């Protein structure tokens, strides 16, 4: 640790892709996701977020092939419904506002 650099660690609950499910509506049509895709109310209970995405896509979800496009498109405000994403959001906002 360095006392001259602000740091924090934020981990997604279960899987990084659970944040995509929290904001699923914003990913409609992306890589074949259904145009009527809606956010699941109990998204944090899903144990296989990658599988959940794969079942709804035209091709199997592949983090290397799809993650960056999803990150660029998913709704950050909708993802804040996830407690772990909200922690990340609050800490990032705090760091950015301090500068």
The confidence score (pLDDT) of residue 3 equals 83
In this predicted structure, the answer to whether residue 52 has a pLDDT above a threshold of 80 is yes
In this predicted structure, the answer to whether residue 7 has a pLDDT above a threshold of 90 is no
Q: How far apart are CA 58 and CA 51, in angstroms?
A: 13
Bigger pLDDT: 89 vs 98: 89
Number of H helices, E strands in the chain: 5, 0
In this predicted structure, the answer to whether residue 6 has a pLDDT above a threshold of 80 is no
Give whole-number Cα distances, 48 to 3, 16, 44, 51, 81, in Å: 38, 11, 10, 5, 18
Domain edges within the chain: 18-98
């Amino acid at each position: 640790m360095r006392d001259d650099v602000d740091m924090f660690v934020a981990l997604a609950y279960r899987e990084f892709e659970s944040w995509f499910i929290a904001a699923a509506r914003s990913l409609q049509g992306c890589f074949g996701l259904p145009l009527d895709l809606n956010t699941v109310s109990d998204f944090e209970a899903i144990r296989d977020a990658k599988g959940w995405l794969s079942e709804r896509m035209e091709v199997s979800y592949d983090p290397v092939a799809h993650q960056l496009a999803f990150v660029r498109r998913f709704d950050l405000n909708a993802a804040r419904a996830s407690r772990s994403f909200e922690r990340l959001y609050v800490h990032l906002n705090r760091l950015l506002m301090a500068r």
